[in-house]
Chains A and B, each alone.
Chain A
């Protein structure tokens, strides 16, 4: 019997994958994201780390503010560093921080939201007071303090973003769980003898998964932008290139005034495209996971 059930589940995943690919928005999203993921993974093959180091770049005789026509694929910056190399290696940091921090955000937010909404009572009040505390505390000062206390590293950056941005997810998930809890199918499951855990797994989770997915698509770009902000404030790891850091350096050093588009454009377009990819993927997934949205595509 379990074989049959497992079979059917797998079959359904295949169906979801096929449907996903058939939707144009999903296909575009996946292609864009795949491009950046491959770029990030294959960074050593398509770029080098040498010319990110200004000393080595100078030794190699690269010019300041070199245009793409003069040097390499994307020119150089005020420190003679290769913009292409920074862009490629920056995609690693941006994607990693974006995904890991979003994962942490969604994990904490969903867990708190589901427990709070489903269990209710005193636990709900306690969890919601904590959530509100995080919500009212101004985000940036908290992030700065945390980052300063914990030190400037990639892992701390992920932790800081995750720990400060879960409350809105928690509230959203909680409100959805509260309405789901009133639905008759939860009563039905209860009257069949289903335990709380059973109800959450079988009825609550599948019905909040769409919301969680949508939230993830929002959390990834926000995490990437937060990483940018924190890097801008000097709280990022100073040794690694990230898109946020590139944008910031370009801005501070007058790339815009110099019309050095090759300096700021790649990182900016990169952020926009990754954000777009996640949004497209999230929307398509939501449409497929929620059977009622199917016909509206």
Chain B
């Protein structure tokens, strides 16, 4: 088994009483695309900001190639943001923006060449046409390509993409996702993409991790997880994706709870359709659902769901 590029170990991030990330184990392998899926408020963005070093964890570790990283200065980890317009300084030209990473690194080679290469790899061709433009002079999709070029120019090993296409036109989304996939296939880059859109995960991810209220509740290879979800939360999420016809739509009751008051027991139990339908009762685990926290999924797990019902059925079956 190859060594993981990044390992997150028992990560907790609290903002006051709010537990945004509440015990997460996660490994990203070299060259894979891992999608982190969940509703807004589930802690996905906080998690990747911690991997990047923009947010300090309350406890737990982020290891890069086995070494604890002073994460902020990892040139090997770069980030792509949800809103490309906000991510670009309006007073800097495209070439200055792309070159920023190189300048911070005190790059010794030919900067102009590196910038041009990065731009054309990000699909902005010919690069000369874009070098002297300002961000407000190019389209939204092109802006996101500039952000990607700026991240790729230092040749990182891991790209963290926070909802990379959420703010873009539907017609451009496919292109940007194709670009990311292409970069992974040609350069061996690993991508951790955060999204609330399971369809997006389906399109580009090798593996999917589903997050709910600060914790990963199910992981697995994309096809397996999306074809046969185990956790009732994943099932509910999938049932409302338009592409999954034939699945009975399951609308969850209520909102995602306040991270200041995470429910006892399984954090999903107040909204869980398995518990509400009396299924848990039948399996004799209703008390567990309400009172006992399922174990945190380990980073090494290939296919697992943090759910008492899933475990009970597995034992029975």
List A residues at the B interface (Cβ < 8 Å): 1, 4, 183-185, 187-194, 198, 202-203, 206-207, 289-292
| Residues A194 and B89 in contact, CB atoms below 8 Å apart | no
Q: Closest chain B residue to A188 by CB distance?
A: B87
**Inter-subunit contact A189/B100 (CB<8 Å):** yes
Smallest Cβ-Cβ distance to B110: which chain A residue: A1
Report if A184-B86 is in contact (Cβ < 8 Å); known contacts: A1-B111, A202-B100. Answer: yes
Pick the contact of A291: B82, B87, B91 (CB < 8 A).
B91
Which residues does chain A contribute within 8 Å of B213, judged by CB atoms?
A: none
Number of B residues, CB within 8 Å of A: 32
Q: Is the CB of B134 within 8 A of A206?
A: no
Closest to B53 in A: A191
Residue of B nearest to A205 (CB): B91
Bound together, the chains give a CA A188 to CA B87 distance in angstroms of 6
Cα A202 to Cα B88 in complex, Å, equals 12
The answer to whether B75 and A191 touch across the interface, beta carbons within 8 angstroms, is no
Instruction: Evaluate contact between A292 and B90: CB separation under 8 angstroms.
Output: yes
Which residues from chain A contact B52 at a C-beta distance below 8 Å? 191
Q: Could you tell me if A192 and B104 are in contact, using CB atoms closer than 8 angstroms? A: yes
In the complex the two chains form, is B83's CB within 8 Å of A184's CB? Answer: yes
Q: Does B127 contact A (CB under 8 A)?
A: no
**A85 CB → nearest B CB, Å:** 47
5 chain-A/chain-B pairs, Cβ below 8 angstroms: A187-B54, A187-B79, A189-B100, A191-B54, A194-B104
Are the C-beta atoms of A188 and B147 separated by less than 8 Å? Answer: yes
Cβ of A194 and Cβ of B86 under 8 Å apart? Answer: no
Q: Of residues 81 to 137 in B, which have CB atoms within 8 Å of A's CB atoms?
A: 81-83, 86-92, 100-101, 104-105, 110-112, 134, 136
Contacts of B136 in A (CB 8 A): 291-292
User: In the complex, what residue of chain B is closest to A187 when comparing beta carbons?
Assistant: B54
The reply on B282 being an interface residue by CB < 8 A is no
Give the shortest distance, in Å, between A2 (CB) and chain B (any CB). Answer: 10
A184 lies within 8 A of B100 (CB): no
B residues whose Cβ falls under 8 Å from a Cβ of A: 52-54, 72-75, 77-79, 81-83, 86-92, 100-101, 104-105, 110-112, 134, 136, 147, 150, 154
> Bound state CA distance, A189 and B72, in angstroms?
11
Beta-carbon contact of B112 and A187 below 8 Å? no
Q: Is the CB of B87 within 8 A of A184?
A: yes
* Cβ-defined partner of A194 (8 Å) among B81, B83, B100: B100
5 closest A-B pairs by CB: A184-B86, A184-B87, A191-B79, A192-B101, A185-B89
* Complex Cα–Cα for A291 and B104 (A): 25
Given known contacts A192-B154, A290-B91, what 5 new A-B pairs fall within 8 Å (CB)? A187-B87, A192-B104, A194-B104, A202-B92, A291-B136
CB-based contact B89/A207 at 8 Å: yes
Given A1-B111, A1-B112, residue A192 in contact with residue B90 (CB < 8 A)? no
Specify which of B72, B110, B150 is in contact with A193 (CB 8 Å cutoff): B72
Chain B residues near A183: list those with CB within 8 A: 86
Min distance, Cβ A233 to any Cβ of chain B, angstroms:
43
Write out the residue numbers on chain A whose beta carbons fall within 8 Å of the beta carbon of B83: 184
A12 nearest CB neighbor, chain B only: B93
- B86 adjacent to A185 (CB under 8 Å): yes
Q: Residue on B with the closest CB to A210?
A: B91
A296 to chain B, nearest CB (A): 13
Give every chain A residue within 8 A of B92 (Cβ-Cβ): 202, 206
- Closest Cβ neighbor of B137 among chain A residues: A291
Contacts of A198 in B (CB 8 A): 104
